Amino acid sequence: MEGPYRIEDYIKDAKVRKIFGQVFDQSTIGAIHDLANKGFIDYLEHIISTGKEAHVYKALDKAGHARAVKIYMIETSDFRNMRRYIEGDLRFKNVGHDRRDIIYLWTKKEYKNLESFSEAGVRVPMPFAFTKNVLVMEFIGKEQAALPIKEDPIEDIAFLYETLVESIARMIYKAKVIHGDLSEYNILNFDGTPVIIDCGQAVLFNHPHAMEFFERDLKNIANYFEKQGIKKSIDEIKADIKRAKEKI
Ligand SMILES: Nc1ncnc2c1ncn2[C@@H]1O[C@H](COP(=O)(O)OP(=O)(O)OP(=O)(O)O)[C@@H](O)[C@H]1O
Ligand SMILES: [Mg+2]
C-alpha cells in the first residue's frame, strides 16, 4: 500500500476508502479507526514488511511521532500454532478456539511482552496501544526502518554479544519471560545498538514448553555467533547469562 494516508480521510475520500477496503477487512479498519480516535495513529505512511502473519507499517501519531503499526492478518495467521504459545501461559486463561479471538489475544500478548521487556530494561520497541489485531509501538529507525542484523550486521560483534547476553538475563530473571523466536531476523541494528523485536510468541518462564523455546533461542544465538567467528557452546552462553545476572 502506497501512502501516506490520513486515517480521517477514510471517511471523506472514496478513493482512500477503496484502497483500505482492498487491504484490510472491516474489523481491522474499525481497530485502526479506534486507535486514530485516541490519537495513536494519524497517518499510515508506507508498508515496511509484509509477512504471512503480520504486516508492519510506518505511521505518524497525532503529535507527529514516528510509529510502527503491526497488523496481524486474520486470514493467513496460523492461529492453531499461536494457541500453543498462549495456552499454558498463566497470564491468559480460558483460551478459546475462535480464530479471531486467538489473534486478538496474540496481539495483546505481544503488547504485554514488549511492556514487560521494556520494564526489565531490555531494548525493545516501546509499546503504546493495541486494539483487536492492531499494535502501535515505537518506530525503530530514522527515515527508513532499521534492518535486522541478518541484513545489516552490527560491526562491534563483542558489544553485540555482551548486550544480547545482558538482554537475555533481563528477560529471564527480571521479566521472567522467554522470547521464543530470538534470531538474527528479529534483532534490528539501530545505529549499532541491537533492538529486539517480534515478541508475540514470548511466554512466561513457567509455560510447559518454556525450556524448549529457551534452548532453541540459545541454539540460534550460538549458530549466529559461530558464523561471525565467535565460537560459544550453549553451556558457555548459559554461564555468561548467569554472570550477567549479577550486574542487572
Ligand atoms: N518497531 C519497529 N520499528 C521498525 N521496524 C519494525 C518494527 N517492528 C517490526 N519492524 C519491521 O517489520 C519486520 C517484521 O516485523 P516482525 O518480525 O515483528 O514481524 P513477523 O511476525 O516476523 O512477521 P512475519 O514473520 O509474518 O514476517 C521487521 O523485520 C522489521 O523490518
Ligand atoms: Mg520477525
- Distance, CA 14 to ligand 2 centroid (Å)? 34
One-letter amino acid of 19:
I
- Distance, CA 148 to ligand 1 centroid (Å)? 9
pLDDT at 205: 97
Beta-carbon neighbours within 5 Å of ion ligand 2: 186, 198
pLDDT at 75: 92
Fold of 147-245: Transferase(Phosphotransferase); domain 1 (1.10.510)
In DSSP notation, 33-57 reads HHHHHTTS-SEEEEEEEE-SSEEEE
Crossing angle between the packed helical segments 234-245 and 210-227, to the nearest 10 degrees: 110
pLDDT at 18: 87
Give the catalytic positions in this structure.
181, 198
What are 108-137's pLDDT values in tens digits?
999 999 999 999 999 999 999 999 999 999
User: Whole-angstrom Cα distance, residue 133 to residue 103?
Assistant: 6
Q: Where are the domains of the chain?
A: 147-245
pLDDT at 87: 96
Q: Are 224 and 183 in contact (CB under 8 A)?
A: yes
List, as own/partner pairs, every contact residues 48-51 make where C-beta atoms lie below 8 angstroms and the sequence separation is at least 24, other chains included: 48/145, 49/145
Q: Which residues of the chain have pLDDT under 70?
A: none
pLDDT at 127: 98
pLDDT at 11: 75
The residue whose CA is least distant from atom 19 of ligand 1 is 198
Q: Are 103 and 78 in contact (CB under 8 A)?
A: no
- Which atom of ligand 1 is the closest one to the Cα of 125? 1
pLDDT at 20: 86
pLDDT at 19: 85
Ligand 1 pocket, CB under 6 A: 48-49, 51-54, 56, 68, 70, 125, 137-141, 145-146, 148, 186, 197-198
